[in-house]
Amino acid sequence: MGFSLTVTEKWSGLTLEAVLRDELAFSKKTIHQWRMEKGIHINGELTPWKNTLSEGDILTFALDDPAPSYPPSQMDIDVLFQDDHLIIVNKPSQTDTHPNEPGQNNTLVNAVVHYELQSGRTGYIQPIHRLDRDTTGAILFAKHSAIKPLLDQMLEKRDIRRTYTAIVQGEVKIAKGTINQPIGKDRHHATRRRISPGGQKAVTHYKKIRYDAASNTTILSLTLDTGRTHQIRVHLSSIGHPIVGDTLYGAKKAGHSYQALHASSLSFVHPFTGELVDVDAPEPLKRRL
């Protein structure tokens, strides 16, 4: 298995190596491996890498991905966007992103592997980020090993913009603000995190969408500068507005089991096509008030 890319006008006149190194940002190790293994064809032929490319040329990349990367498991999934390189799925609540213990195979990644195998692909699937078990919304997965490190780099550089929607207890008075508090482990609880002076830097931006007096809850839109475990949950609890349903961080017990946090959108420039991928995930939270 492999993948193909079409040379754009921007790449025309460049050498293959320049495109791989400067335009697509592949690592030196990856480029060297393709060169040694003669793993890239131009218009179906092995062509010297010093030759310049022309718009419309087809670059075909050979890949030797292990498959499947996780055991497949039958589960309906909500695909928000996909192409030959990546797939974005709307994660339901009460579902882990990936296995957390040996033998666990009822996670979202297992379901996406099954979906890919049913589509005739290798089943190589790797999550680029994760959501807590009770958090819903958009998650990005790599479909092959060549794009995964590029997406990982984009996530690390914050070139993948993620927006969240949360319903919190009480009325948030300030229309918008930033919570800049370091987060560390809670030594008294195995899974909980807490605000800690010695913790990792964590920055959360929020904007008030609306307040619902009947339920005494506020809907917030949030973006992150950092991606700490439980970051939004810890930060909102720290200002006295825990997320509805999040009893781990101080929310009152409610007559439902959901945690009202949703990854509502995902936006980034596709590393191969240069096109903007801007995906909105259906927001069930707004229908719960």
Q: What is the DSSP string of 205-272?
A: EEEEEEEETTTTEEEEEEEESS--TTHHHHHHHHTT-PBTT-GGGTPPP-SS----EEEEEEEEE-TT
**Taking the C-alpha atoms of 221, 225, 229 and 234 in order, what is their torsion angle to the nearest 10 degrees?**
-50
Cα dihedral 48→49→50→53 (10° resolution): 100
pTM to 2 decimal places: 0.90
Residue 132 known to be catalytic:
yes
Decide: 271 and 150 in contact? Cβ < 8 Å.
yes
Among the ranges given (54-68, 173-187, 217-231, 254-268), the one the predictor scored with the smallest mean pLDDT: 254-268
Nearest of 269, 264, 263, 232 to residue 248 by alpha carbon? 232
Task: From the candidates 65, 132, 134, 246, give the one annotated as an active-site residue.
Answer: 132
Residue located via tokens 């909980």: 192
- Could you tell me the residue ranges of all domains in the chain? 2-62, 163-263
* Residue 216 pLDDT grade (very low, low, confident, very high; cuts 50, 70, 90): very high
The partner residues of 10 in beta bridges, in order of sequence, read none
**For residue 64, what pLDDT band results from cuts at 50, 70 and 90?**
confident
Report pLDDT for 103. 86
* pLDDT of 256: 60
| pLDDT at residue 2 is higher than 90 | no
CATH class of the 2-62 domain in this structure: alpha beta
Mean pLDDT on 4-9: 93
Q: CA–CA separation, 98 vs 116, rounded Å?
A: 16
In this predicted structure, the answer to whether residue 124 has a pLDDT above a threshold of 90 is yes
- The CATH architecture that domain 163-263 belongs to is 2-Layer Sandwich (3.30)
Dump pLDDT digits (tens) for 231-289: 999 999 999 999 999 999 999 876 566 789 999 999 999 999 889 999 999 976 554 44
